[in-house]
Amino acid sequence: MLHSSIPPHLLASVRPGFSLPQGFYLDPTVFARDLDLLAAHWTFAGHVSELREPGDWVTIELDPESAIVVRGEDGELRAFANVCRHRGSRVCIAARGRSAFLTCPYHAWSYELDGRLRRAREMPAGFDPADYGLKRLPLREIGGLVFVAFAPDPPALEQGVPALERMLNHFAWPTARIAERRAYTVAANWKLAMENYHECYHCAPAHPEFARLHALARPNNRSLSDEPDVLSGLADFEDWEADRLDREVVRVMRSHLVASCETGSRDGRRLAPPMGEGGRREDGLVVFAEVGPLSAFLAYPDHGVIYRFIPREPLRTEMEVIWLVEGSAEAGRDYDPEALVWLWEVTTIADKTIIERNQAGVRSRAYEPGPFSLMEPGTRQYVDRYVAEFAAHEPATA
Ligand code: FES
Ligand SMILES: [Fe+2]
C-alpha cells in the first residue's frame, strides 16, 4: 500500500506560512505519491507549430506515464497513452517526429493516427483489432499551447481559458514558431524548483540581469493595476485556491519592465519582430502565465518563453525552456539566437545553482522549516495548494 508507507506525522508537522518539513523533499514514497498527484493535472505538451501536419507527433513524460500527442488525417489533435496494447512497450520513443502510422518498435503492431489498431501480425482466430486501440487521454489546445493530462477527469480549466486565450492571441502565440529549446537538469526535488520559480525574493541577490530589467524584482511592485487593459481586454487572473481542488491552477499576471526597457534583453532593446497586436503596442509589458503545477509562460512584446518542469527522481528535476518568436522570423535575419536566449539562460543557470544549494541544506539534520517573507506570497500559495492536494489525494495505486 503506497500511502501507508508515508510517514504518518508528515502532514501533521506542516506549519502554515513555513517551508515544508524535510520528508516532503527527500522521501521516495512522497515522491511516488507526488507523481501520481501530478498525473491528474494538466501539463504543457507542445506548441502547435510542432504539430501542424497530419502525422506530426510529440511525446511528453511524467514518470511512470508517457503521452503521445498526434495530429490526425482529419486535422484533429489527440492524446494517447504511450503504451502498446500488445504487451505494453512504449510506442513512440523520440521526443517528436512525423509518421503515417504509429508503429510499436517491439513487435510492430501499428496504429492509425486516430489510435485504432490497423495491423498486428499472426494473431489467433477471434482477435478483434477494434478492442486494442491506444488509450485516449484528455487534451486541450488553448491559444497555440497543447495541454494533456495523464489520467482521466483532470481539474476543470474552463474558468481560466478566456484570460489565457486573450493573452496568447494578443501576442500571436498560435502562429508563433519555436526558435530555441534548452534543457537544464537540477539536482533537487521538484518542489524546491517550483517554490523558487514562484517567488522573486531571490531575484535581487541571485539574478542581477533579471532584476535590472523587471519591476517584479522590487518589493511592492509586483503587478499592474487590477483594471483590465481597455484595448486588449488583458487582465490579471488567478485561480489556484487550496479549497478549490476541482479547478486547475491558472494564472495570468501582467507586470512592468523597468522604465525605458522594451523587452527582456541584455540592453532592454527589442530582440526580434513584434509578436501580434501586443508586440506592436506593449513596450515594457511582460505577462506571466501558469497552467497546472508544472507549466509556466512569459510573453514579452517580441518573444515568448515556455517553462516546463519535469520531476525525474526524488532529487532530480528537469527544467525545459522553449523560446518562441513571431511565425515568419528567421534566425540570423530577424533575430540573433544567442541574444534571444541570453536572459533566461543566465537566469535558469543561476536558478539551478541556488536550488541545488537549497536542496543541499534541506538534506541536513540541521534543516527545519523556515518562515516565508512578504515577498514570497506565490510560493506560499503554491505550497498551500500542494499540501491540500496531498492531504486529499487517494493514490490510484494504493
Ligand atoms: S509490445 Fe508493442 S508490438 Fe509487442
Ligand atoms: Fe530565479
What are the pLDDT digits (tens) for 69-83? 999 999 999 999 999
- What's the pLDDT band for 22 if we cut at 50, 70, 90? very high
Mean pLDDT of the 336-341 span: 98
Could you identify the atom of ligand 1 that is nearest to the CA of residue 84? Answer: 2
| Closest ligand, as measured to the CA of 121 | 1
- AA letter at 325: V
Structural domain includes residue 170: yes
Is the same domain home to 77 and 199?
A: no
**Ligand 1 neighbourhood includes 52 CB (under 6 angstroms):** no
For 31, residues 6+ apart whose C-beta sits below 8 A from its C-beta are: 189, 311, 313, 314
Is the same domain home to 131 and 166?
A: no
Mean pLDDT of the 364-377 span: 97
Structural domain includes residue 13: no
Which CATH number characterizes residue 131's domain?
2.102.10.10
Is the model more confident about 2 or about 334?
Answer: 334
Structural domain includes residue 59: yes
Is the same domain home to 196 and 118?
A: no
Is the same domain home to 134 and 164?
A: no
Cis peptide leading into 174, omega within 30 of 0? no
Structural domain includes residue 18: no
Domain count, the chain: 2
Distance between CA atoms of 108 and 103, rounded to whole angstroms?
6
Structural domain includes residue 37: no
| Closest ligand, as measured to the CA of 204 | 2
Structural domain includes residue 26: no
Give per-residue pLDDT as tens, 268-321.
Answer: 999 999 999 999 988 888 999 999 999 999 999 999 999 999 999 999 999 999
Is the same domain home to 271 and 354?
A: yes
Domain end among 91, 111, 139: 139
Is the same domain home to 258 and 335?
A: yes
Domain end among 139, 169, 189: 139
**Ligand 1 neighbourhood includes 107 CB (under 6 angstroms):** yes
Distance between CA atoms of 167 and 255, rounded to whole angstroms?
13
Mean pLDDT of the 168-183 span: 97
Question: Which domain, by its residues, includes 125?
Answer: 43-139
**Ligand 1 neighbourhood includes 87 CB (under 6 angstroms):** yes
Structural domain includes residue 47: yes
- Ligand 1 centre from 36 Cα, in Å? 25
Which CATH number characterizes residue 211's domain?
3.90.380.10
C-beta of residue 261 within 8 angstroms of C-beta of residue 285: no
With a cut of 80, say whether residue 174 has pLDDT above it: yes
Is the model more confident about 135 or about 219?
Answer: 135
Q: For position 226, what pLDDT does the model report?
A: 66
Is the same domain home to 245 and 133?
A: no
Residue of the nearest CA to atom 3 in ligand 1?
Answer: 107
Is the same domain home to 304 and 166?
A: yes
Q: Give me the chain's average pLDDT, please.
A: 93
Is the same domain home to 302 and 220?
A: yes
**Ligand 1 neighbourhood includes 119 CB (under 6 angstroms):** no
- Ligand 1 centre from 91 Cα, in Å? 8
**Rg from Cα positions in the chain:** 22
Domain end among 106, 139, 172: 139
| Closest ligand, as measured to the CA of 93 | 1
Structural domain includes residue 27: no
**Ligand 1 neighbourhood includes 101 CB (under 6 angstroms):** no
Is the same domain home to 192 and 277?
A: yes
- Ligand 1 centre from 75 Cα, in Å? 27
C-beta of residue 44 within 8 angstroms of C-beta of residue 168: no
For 161, residues 6+ apart whose C-beta sits below 8 A from its C-beta are: 142
Could you give the angle at which helices 377-392 and 190-197 cross, rounded to 10 degrees? 140
Q: Which three cell numbers stand for residue 325?
A: 518568436
Percentage, residues of the chain above pLDDT 90: 84
| Closest ligand, as measured to the CA of 90 | 1
Q: For position 225, what pLDDT does the model report?
A: 66
Q: For position 222, what pLDDT does the model report?
A: 54
Is the same domain home to 194 and 74?
A: no
> Which contacts qualify for 235-239: CB closer than 8 Å, 24 or more apart?
235/163, 237/160, 237/163, 237/164, 239/159, 239/160
**Ligand 1 neighbourhood includes 294 CB (under 6 angstroms):** no
Q: Coil, strand, or helix at residue 375? A: coil
For 388, residues 6+ apart whose C-beta sits below 8 A from its C-beta are: 242, 243, 245
Is the same domain home to 188 and 271?
A: yes
**Ligand 1 neighbourhood includes 89 CB (under 6 angstroms):** yes
Q: Give the DSSP letter of residue 384.
A: H
